[in-house]
Structure 1
Amino acid sequence: MKEMIVAVMMIFSVAFGVGFWVLFLRLFDALVLKPRRLRSKLAKEGIKGSVPSSILYGNIAEIKSIIKLRLGYSAVREEMIFHDWLPTVFPHLVIWRMLYGSTFLYSTGNIQLLCTTDPAMVKQVSLCTSFNLGKPSYLSTERGPLLGRGILSSNGSCWAHQRKIIAPLFYVDRVKRMVNLMVESTSTMLRTWEKKTESLEGKLEITIDEDMRSLSANIISRACFGSSYAQGKKIFTKLQALLQIMSKGNIGVPGLRYLPTKHNKEIWKLEREIDSMILEIVKNRGADNHKNDLLQLMLDAAEIYGDDSNIPTDISLNKIVVDNCKNIYFAGHETTAISASWCLMTLAAYPEWQARVRKEVLDICGDNVLTADMLGHMKVLTMVIQETLRLYPPVAYVVREALQDIHFNGINIPNDIQIGGISIPNDFNLGVTIPKGINIQVPIPIMHQHEDLWGSDVHQFRPDRFANGVSGACKIPQAYMPFGDGPRICAGQHFAMEELKVILALVVSKFSFSLSSAYQHSPVFKLVIQPEHGVGIILEKL
């Protein structure tokens, strides 16, 4: 009996030892060898970058120290509004771009990032339709509580299936039918502003950010939930809290998201609450009461395509609906509200453009109720929105992961390349092969202020650069990407543009406004690019 016990213990010990070493070797490969292999492959292509200072954290510590140093020594600006804010918000990208060229490597945790501002490469990434280039896996893992496996984070046939469900919800004709509810919601907010100005002798100083968030929540809730607006507003409140908590965490650090830290516990709690609230709305819907809202249309489409074999077996119909509701809320609420705040800031800072927009709106609308057809004729207003989104895009990056090795032609790599162990100048435009596992990162603000593409006045607010559309404003139209790019461009971009037009058109028709003397121009990146101290304006009723 003792011999049997000893034998079993020996077998267990051997198995444990083998398992331990297998796990150790896998971890060593994932944390050390794989990142080195990827970086080595790109080094042979002539691409250099900042060497990670930590196996677990990559360049995160370096990034934080650069940002802290830059913030501590940033020069005081004489002008109240300045648009070349990139060196303050993204100083690490600006510095590395100067050191290593337009395409360089760095890492956040275990995520290897190939950052590029090379116009030729950005254009090819934008035009690429291959499933070999997809959304990075960390969106459905690290950002999973916010995005899940919805349309913003899924890939391949799973993404194509969800696109088939979601995209028709935001077709132009369908969005036009939602303009009335946008007008109603905005008019309700403006009546509140009017009452406040009347009690304050016609003038009101206000910080508009929370009002814009409430308004955007109102609009997207009504569009999504119809009469279930109260539940929708609760979800937005939870999502806003989740966004703020997740913006404080480090992305890409292996295993960190699994630890029961206070930070993670807050995220898990909010995720459970949000998912539960969405499912509750889905279960309690009456088929006759919500025929035209987005959620019902999504449910109908999901049921029609529910047996699609392209969907992985671990994704249920409920999961598709819940995750895409969160995707629509995030994209249709937070980013739109921030964009509205930035647009009102620029109109307040440039009264000549505010006057031009107001004249256009009044000439087209007169005393009539604003309609979708009227919005289509507002060219000056459209240019102002486009220019504001150029200078202040709410989303900071377009990121694509190479799901297989992928080649780009004619890329301007300033370093030498290695062929057969021999270093030769990269003057032949051989292009570059991106190995599987690399994340290609395009910093949108840098592309939007790329002097070679936009001209020497790139840091100036000049909406008339869009007089002939994006193609007339930028040498490479694909470099303008406030709604993303290529096949993965935001499905709700028409909805967002119509909402911004409605908000701005109605505000300028009721009020003149200027920036508050207390306004501090300080863009900051917290998952989205937003005004750090809010946008304070002084309203005067017309």
Structure 2
Amino acid sequence: MALVGILFALAVIFVLHRLLRLHTLKDIPGPTPSNWFLGYVYDLSPKPIGTPFKEWTRTYGQTYKLRGPFGVSELVVGDPKGAAYVLNSPDFQRSYSDRVALEEFFGDGVFNAEVNQDCARQRAVLNTAFSPTNVREVAHVLFDLAERLAKEWEDELQQAGPAGILSEMTSKMQRVAIDAISQTTFSYTLSADPHIPAMIAKIADVPSNALTLIAESLVDTFPILYKVPSPMRDWTVMLRTELGKIADRIWQESGGSEGGMHSKLLDAMGKSKMITGEPMNRDTAIANMCAVIFAGYETTANILAECLYELAKKPSIQDALRTELSTLTSTENCSLTYDDLTDTAALPYLDAVTRETFRTKAVLLTITRAAVAPSTIPLAFPVKSTGATSVAVEPGQVVNVPVRDGIHADPAIWGEDVDEFKPERWLGEEEKLPEAVRMIKAPGHLLTFGDGPKTCLGRYFATAEFKIVLATVIQRFVIEDVEDVYDFYRQTSDTIKPRIRGREHEPPQLNLRVKWAEIA
């Protein structure tokens, strides 16, 4: 009972603190939550992705407010012009709760370095590891991993009949992705480790629910809550410890200079003094290893699995992609190369499928920022209730930019066919894209990798990995749908996982049928 009283008192203080320091956004429309205590979290957490944000945009427009836990207002900016401003302006940074959580779980790395000299130094170091030049140098590792996956399926198909085989795609893609990031960045095969993949899975698979999201809100005022012992915190500490052992061993074997032929991340961190003028200490290096694994492992694996699910439901798109890939290799009488896959003129349909996947299957549901100074957000679409073309916010105001179910799924931005998986929208001249799409200033007019100073460092690597694996799979195999219907849910770690409809209590899974591809 004493604990309940303490928590209630903290909640009251939290509410008063937030309500006193923030404007209520009284002129901004928004839905009334079903539960005042939980706010919009109550309406969002139990549902598959793809529902509430779309409904709210349709009803209230691109810019609206949500009542969070305890009635505190959060501003939603699903406006392309407004989102570009929020994500590029120094007036908006990661929320305090996000920074505390990232530091507590992953250490003092680039994840929680803000837009200052420290952030610039760390990003400069990591940028060298994921530069287009370095991605090209390690591309053969990605091809080898894609070949390993193809060989596994080929061996299974040799023993199977015409019906092909069933394959669970999330685990297959996770193994490819974790080895892609670990082999190329610190010359280690993480999938062969008996402990690390299991720890990562435990951290990434914590379901999102009302209680976890309320805790995320409370920590904005009471960061001490993140220091309370919990299984998730214990797993992240163990993960940092294990990764530290790996890094120490590799650095010792290499004499402290370069980690090995493909150790791009460790090489860059070892040369930090040469790049920025200051060495990177061991703890920061380990924190950055954790950051790179979480940013590049689950995200790429999940988007690959979702893409294959989409193509399984749309065999005509799969066939068109296979034809383009096969035509190129038969004409040149050679295998696909990294240059082929990154040349949009050589493989325009592959690029279109990639961009459409990044639009419709973006791993980011929302990007959250908090105002650190008074600011006025410009809008392309006026506020629905007032016609205002800007919104003024005060320091402390939380702003959510909805990505997957917001800006990427708004018919006012993309057209009435927005819900259709349609690679053809990306073919042709960029000027033919709708004007509102071109207002999205992020690379490729997509927010899949964020925008502004915190744009994903590994976007070139992730795109190359996606194209290499997808091209290898589609050129050799036909991927078919099965009877199960899948919905996709947000996890507490902000990953997105598939679950079979009607069997949501089961672990995440995505089963598809694999057959030989017949190439004319």
- My pick for the range that moved more, 283-292 or 452-461, is 283-292
CA distance, structure 1, for counterparts of residue 120 and residue 15 of structure 2: 32
* Alignment correspondent of 2:170: 209
CA distance, structure 2, for counterparts of residue 235 and residue 109 of structure 1: 38
* Alignment correspondent of 1:79: none
- Among residues 392, 397, 416, which one is paired with 1:456 in the alignment? 416
* Alignment correspondent of 2:200: 239
- My pick for the range that moved more, 28-37 or 375-384, is 28-37
Residue correspondence of structure 1 range 16-415 to structure 2 within 5 A? 31-40=15-24, 42-43=25-26, 46-49=27-30, 60=38, 62-65=40-43, 68=46, 86-87=50-51, 91=52, 94-95=55-56, 98-99=59-60, 102-108=63-69, 113-126=74-87, 128=88, 130-157=89-116, 158-202=118-162, 203-227=164-188, 229=190, 234-245=195-206, 247=208, 249-250=212-213, 251-254=216-219, 255=222, 258=225, 264-285=229-250, 286-287=253-254, 290-304=260-274, 308=278, 317-366=281-330, 368-375=334-341, 376=343, 377-410=346-379, 412-415=382-385
Alignment TM-score, normalising by the size of structure 1: 0.79
Shift of residue 414, structure 1, vs aligned partner: 3.4
CA distance, structure 1, for counterparts of residue 44 and residue 452 of structure 2: 32
Which deviations, in whole Å up to 9, do the C-alpha atoms of 1:498-525 show, x marking residues without a partner? 10111111111211221122x3131222
Identity value in percent: 19
Shift of residue 349, structure 1, vs aligned partner: 1.3
Counterpart of 1:156 in 2: which secondary structure? coil
Aligned residues: 474
CA distance, structure 1, for counterparts of residue 102 and residue 397 of structure 2: 18
Label 1:257 to 1:102 Cα distance change in 2 as closer, same or farther (>3 A): same
Counterpart of 1:206 in 2: which secondary structure? strand
Alignment TM-score, normalising by the size of structure 2: 0.82
Counterpart of 2:417 in 1: which secondary structure? coil
Amino acid at match of 1:35: L
CA distance, structure 2, for counterparts of residue 457 and residue 100 of structure 1: 18
CA distance, structure 1, for counterparts of residue 76 and residue 186 of structure 2: 39
Shift of residue 470, structure 1, vs aligned partner: 6.1
Label 1:155 to 1:184 Cα distance change in 2 as closer, same or farther (>3 A): same
Amino acid at match of 2:286: V
CA distance, structure 2, for counterparts of residue 297 and residue 349 of structure 1: 42
Label 1:164 to 1:120 Cα distance change in 2 as closer, same or farther (>3 A): same
- My pick for the range that moved more, 275-284 or 496-505, is 275-284
Q: Is the 8 A contact 2:33 2:43 kept in 1?
A: no
Label 1:172 to 1:111 Cα distance change in 2 as closer, same or farther (>3 A): farther
* Alignment correspondent of 1:20: none
CA distance, structure 1, for counterparts of residue 511 and residue 106 of structure 2: 31
* Alignment correspondent of 1:535: 510
Counterpart of 2:480 in 1: which secondary structure? strand
Label 1:470 to 1:275 Cα distance change in 2 as closer, same or farther (>3 A): farther
Task: Say what the alpha-carbon RMSD is for the aligned residues.
Answer: 3.2
CA distance, structure 1, for counterparts of residue 433 and residue 76 of structure 2: 24
Q: Is the 8 A contact 1:59 1:106 kept in 2?
A: no
Q: Is the 8 A contact 1:393 1:529 kept in 2?
A: no
CA distance, structure 2, for counterparts of residue 392 and residue 226 of structure 1: 30
* Alignment correspondent of 2:505: none
Structure 2, unmatched stretches of 5+, are: 1-7, 501-508
Q: Is the 8 A contact 2:63 2:75 kept in 1?
A: no
Which deviations, in whole Å up to 9, do the C-alpha atoms of 1:355-408 show, x marking residues without a partner? 111111122234633321121232111111211221111111122221211222
Shift of residue 469, structure 1, vs aligned partner: 6.5
Shift of residue 147, structure 1, vs aligned partner: 4.4
Counterpart of 2:111 in 1: which secondary structure? coil
Q: Is the 8 A contact 2:37 2:71 kept in 1?
A: no
Amino acid at match of 2:22: L
Question: Are 1:496 and 2:462 counterparts?
Answer: yes
CA distance, structure 2, for counterparts of residue 451 and residue 403 of structure 1: 32
Counterpart of 2:166 in 1: which secondary structure? strand
Amino acid at match of 2:383: I
Shift of residue 111, structure 1, vs aligned partner: 7.4
Q: Is the 8 A contact 1:146 1:271 kept in 2?
A: yes
Shift of residue 34, structure 1, vs aligned partner: 3.5
Counterpart of 2:288 in 1: which secondary structure? helix
Which deviations, in whole Å up to 9, do the C-alpha atoms of 1:42-90 show, x marking residues without a partner? 33xx325467899xxx75355325665x78xxxxxxxxxxxxx622xxx
Which deviations, in whole Å up to 9, do the C-alpha atoms of 1:299-339 show, x marking residues without a partner? 2233446765xx9xxxx722321221111111111000001
Label 1:336 to 1:448 Cα distance change in 2 as closer, same or farther (>3 A): same
**Structure of higher CA gyration radius:** 1
CA distance, structure 2, for counterparts of residue 103 and residue 120 of structure 1: 15
CA distance, structure 2, for counterparts of residue 491 and residue 66 of structure 1: 29
Label 1:342 to 1:159 Cα distance change in 2 as closer, same or farther (>3 A): same
Counterpart of 1:358 in 2: which secondary structure? helix
Structure 1, unmatched stretches of 5+, are: 1-23, 72-84, 417-425
Counterpart of 2:205 in 1: which secondary structure? helix
CA distance, structure 1, for counterparts of residue 283 and residue 324 of structure 2: 45
Amino acid at match of 2:92: L
Shift of residue 154, structure 1, vs aligned partner: 2.3
Shift of residue 472, structure 1, vs aligned partner: 3.8
Q: Is the 8 A contact 1:217 1:333 kept in 2?
A: yes
Label 1:317 to 1:516 Cα distance change in 2 as closer, same or farther (>3 A): same
CA distance, structure 1, for counterparts of residue 236 and residue 82 of structure 2: 37
Amino acid at match of 1:404: A
Counterpart of 2:335 in 1: which secondary structure? coil
Shift of residue 193, structure 1, vs aligned partner: 0.8
Which deviations, in whole Å up to 9, do the C-alpha atoms of 1:95-123 show, x marking residues without a partner? 48625863214324797521111333123
